[in-house]
Structure 1
Amino acid sequence: MKKDTLIIGFMLFALFFGAGNLIYPPTLGIEAGTSFWPAIIGFILTGVGLPVVAVAAVSFVSNDARELADHVHPLFGLIFTTVVYLAIGPFFGIPRASTVAFEMTVEPFTAGTSGLLFIFTTIFFIAVLLVSMNPSKLVDRIGQWLTPILLLALIVICIGGFLLLDQTAAGPPSADYATAPFFNGFAEGYLTMDAIAALAFGIIVVNAFKDRGISTRKGLMKATLKTGSVAGIALAVVYTSIGWIGTRMGDAGDFTNGGDILSSAAEGIFGSFGALILGLIVALACFSTSVGLVVACGQFFNKLTGISYRWIISVITIGSYVIANQGLNTIVGVSVPVLTFIYPIAIVLIILTFLHKFFGGYRTVYRGAILLTAIAALYDGLNEFGVNMPEIAAIMEKLPFSSIGLGWLFPAIIGGLIGYIFKNKTKASHAR
């Protein structure tokens, strides 16, 4: 069982570790400078802690994340979970992973050559579809093969950074990190949005342990927490290492994103060979994440509709392929507002799942917390779309933590308290 925990933990690490996770910590490192340690601790708390907790929360239910949302209302559970899977799957998550892989592995060596995105995504999605066809083999294919290669490449970059990168002292923190480094790191980790993906990946982990003979809720929860710890420790070490590399790049020039920082660092460490190592890391990270999302979406919609799993993942892969060829900027421009709306609701559902027994599982608590969270998150999402609402903005900006993107937190607490005060006499049907 220890071997299974380790292998499944490696699989979970690879599923979480997409290109977005690779480029956030170096940006944090270069901006936080001498305030790096409190900033990275805040980042790990939300960028690692929340996804691990979300995976454990899924182990509380029998089938999938829809049961968590059913505590609010079955119709809400159906709609919200469907939106989550579509968002992290064929609409945004999978296409974004493939286009990021292209832009960081192929485009730097072939700038200006037309038609390559089409060729790259064709090969990429054929490979994704083939690996996703048999989900029972996912643990072996990713946990035993892809993840060790990914980790080895990451270790090479990180050790090279520690030993070979010029030991330039960390620079002064930017304005945001100078005053509240922990909370800004906290907000950056929250923006990785892995907690949403965890709602999908959680059932893959649970099914992997069921295939190995664990069937009791207590046994699944214990095994899932151990696996989450393996993935969490690996993520925390990698985030800290590549974030630290970012602190050493402050004097190396101006960068547009974390990918530029890592590319420059890799070249500074290993020359042109560094670019190849970084390309391997990005390709493996994006590929494993895409496979995990295709499998998770396929299993969910198979249970929901009864349509053949293979037909569903074929449609998901083709849809992702079409959207990916619209380009990364188009995908990001639409996805950020939608995910900004979805993510707080997912976090509140996860937290309420763990507090379920403490407030008696009353539906009114779920409904009050989710309603006010959704209102605040809808404002944030519309704001990301560029919708100006000056009157509402004046109110929202007064909410605690609104300046760091957590303006929904206070409404969620108030909504939950109101729901508890006016709680129904009948507990939620899923109360335990």
Structure 2
Amino acid sequence: MDKKLTWRDYLVVSSLLFGLFFGVGNLIFPVHLGQLAGHNWLPAVLGFLVTGVLLPLGSVLAIAMTRAEGVFDIGKPLGKSFALVFMVLIHATIGPFFGTPRTATVSFSTGLAPFVPEKFQTVTLFGFSALFFLVAFLLSYKESHILKNIGKLLNPLFLLLLTLVFFVAFLNPLGAAAGAKATAAYAGNTSFVSGFLEGYNTMDALAGLAFGVTVVSAIRAMGVKRDGAVALVTAKAGVLSMSAVALVYFLLTLLGVQSLGAFKVSENGGVALSQVVTEYGGTFGQAFLAALITVTSLTTAVGLVAAFAQDFHKHFPKVSYHAWLALSCLMSFGAANFGLDTIITWSLPVLMFLYPLAMVLIVLSVTSKLFKRDSVVYFFTVLFTVVPAFFDMVASLPAVISQSAFGKAVVGFQNTYLPLASYSLSWLVPALVGLVLGLILHFTKSLRAVSLTKENE
């Protein structure tokens, strides 16, 4: 018999999901979005919420509705080989290559770096990242304790600290949102699309697929055993947690807009948030921000390294969970010391490629009952998505590649033949074409099967 969860149990699972999703990137990107969008902040944040909230919620629902336990199961309709490659790419991106190292580098850059002389920054980052990932390793060492460490400890502490920031900032705003100037990318009708693309940086649609195994394991540890019951708990907790994420994004974006009353547009959201908190609290405010960012970074880091270890141990069981966990932490530590700018420069092109694939797989998973999870629909939708997504990736690579003869040829072809290429959405129309083609083939095959059955009768 499944244990009947109380409303407090649902809150703990929701807190776990919130903590897994809401990392330091989620804290600083909306603030920067507000500064960039100015008075056009509302359509910009609505676009941001599509990729920053609806898609991650979709990934949680995809895990729940298909009764999957991780990203591998989401790609399985296209075959085990595709599912395994997709799983490795997702975990490498949100894990030790980009996402997990970013939790340490952003928390260092915005929290600790302002207190450290420039000549000591490199060695301090080395020591900070080593300690950071050691703590993450220890907090995720016992799988059964992850729910307690994040859902009951780190995330409530983070929310308390963030509430204090909002209370002070909105009690005495730095400026009015209505008079804030928008940058060129957010002027007119482009603000929604720009906000939509900015949401890629959260990596949460990818993370939601990867966190599935961690969430499912935590729910089962609470006494819920049946697949259907686990799916229902995941879905309910997902809606609750992502609603809270949406509210926080909304308030952070507004905070960024109001900051233009005292500051110019910053180079990134970390600088903007640091300026705002320092304006209100001075040195104490900066120390407070360092604590806030470190706590939220740890929640996400724990979830990422644990999800990496759980999924890889499941598919490569000869290597233990703890060995995969140690490898993830060591690789993340190494990548973190390349610095935040390098991580961001190379992560964006990869996200431009993986996000469209993740989006179509999430949509297909959520709606899969309508076409009986037919692999034909999956095949043509993904096939028509992967090529233009690759073009978007090439176009966003550093100049050494995007401005080469090959890069210019790809961009020229893309802009000439693919709609919405100028918005970095060249995959959207082909994906819809592939979906329609796949559905036509599916229903044609179904009608033929029905006809053959009637003839045989």
Output the TM-score relative to the length of structure 2. 0.89
Match of 1:317? 329
Cα separation, partners in 2 of 1:63 and 1:47, compared to 1, 3 Å: closer
Tell me how far apart the structure 1 counterparts of residues 346 and 198 of structure 2 sit (CA, whole Å).
Answer: 19
Q: Which deviates more, 49-58 or 201-210?
A: 201-210
Tell me how far apart the structure 2 counterparts of residues 52 and 134 of structure 1 sit (CA, whole Å).
Answer: 27
1:395 Cα deviation after fit: 4.0
Structure 2 regions of 5+ residues with no counterpart?
448-457
Mapped contact 1:165–1:268 kept (Cα < 8 A): no
Match of 2:168? 160
Match of 2:181 among 157, 168, 172: 172
Alignment of 1:402 onto 2:407: no
Output the TM-score relative to the length of structure 1. 0.94
- Secondary structure of the residue aligned to 2:187 is helix
Mapped contact 1:10–1:230 kept (Cα < 8 A): no
1:350 Cα deviation after fit: 0.6
Alignment of 1:8 onto 2:26: no
- Secondary structure of the residue aligned to 2:159 is helix
1:11 Cα deviation after fit: 1.5
Match of 2:84? 78
Match of 1:326? 338
What is the RMSD of the two structures over their aligned residues, measured on CA atoms? 2.0
1:42 Cα deviation after fit: 2.2
Alignment of 1:150 onto 2:168: no
Structure 1 regions of 5+ residues with no counterpart?
428-432
Match of 2:71 among 47, 65, 74: 65
Mapped contact 2:38–2:181 kept (Cα < 8 A): yes
Tell me how far apart the structure 2 counterparts of residues 221 and 293 of structure 1 sit (CA, whole Å).
Answer: 21
Identity of aligned residues (%): 35
Mapped contact 2:141–2:322 kept (Cα < 8 A): yes
Match of 2:131? 123
Mapped contact 2:378–2:438 kept (Cα < 8 A): yes
- Count residues in correspondence: 427
Tell me how far apart the structure 1 counterparts of residues 44 and 424 of structure 2 sit (CA, whole Å).
Answer: 16
1:108 Cα deviation after fit: 0.8
Match of 1:355 among 350, 367, 379: 367
Alignment of 1:223 onto 2:236: no
Letter in 2 for 1:38: P
Letter in 2 for 1:225: A
Letter in 2 for 1:159: F
Match of 1:430? none
- Secondary structure of the residue aligned to 1:61 is coil
Mapped contact 2:213–2:311 kept (Cα < 8 A): no
Alignment of 1:198 onto 2:221: no
Match of 1:416? 435
Runs of 4+ in 1 over 6 A off after TM superposition: none
Which protein has the bigger helix share?
A: 2
Match of 1:33? 38
Match of 1:112? 118
Q: Which deviates more, 415-424 or 145-154?
A: 415-424
Match of 1:100? 106
Letter in 1 for 2:31: P
1:38 Cα deviation after fit: 2.3
Match of 1:207 among 190, 205, 217: 217
Alpha-carbon deviations, 1:50-81, whole Å to 9, x = none? Answer: 10110121122343221110111221111111
Alpha-carbon deviations, 1:70-113, whole Å to 9, x = none? Answer: 11122111111112112211122111211111111211110314
Tell me how far apart the structure 2 counterparts of residues 107 and 56 of structure 1 sit (CA, whole Å).
Answer: 39
Match of 1:305? 316
Q: Which deviates more, 199-208 or 402-411?
A: 402-411
Letter in 2 for 1:414: V
Tell me how far apart the structure 2 counterparts of residues 260 and 393 of structure 1 sit (CA, whole Å).
Answer: 33
Superposed, 1:278-293 pairs within 5 Å as 278-293=289-304
Alpha-carbon deviations, 1:215-240, whole Å to 9, x = none? Answer: 33432222112211222122112111
Tell me how far apart the structure 2 counterparts of residues 333 and 10 of structure 1 sit (CA, whole Å).
Answer: 31
Tell me how far apart the structure 1 counterparts of residues 419 and 231 of structure 2 sit (CA, whole Å).
Answer: 34
Tell me how far apart the structure 1 counterparts of residues 346 and 235 of structure 2 sit (CA, whole Å).
Answer: 34
Cα separation, partners in 2 of 1:109 and 1:74, compared to 1, 3 Å: same
Letter in 2 for 1:363: S
Superposed, 1:11-22 pairs within 5 Å as 11-22=16-27
Tell me how far apart the structure 1 counterparts of residues 218 and 354 of structure 2 sit (CA, whole Å).
Answer: 27
Q: Which deviates more, 288-297 or 36-45?
A: 36-45
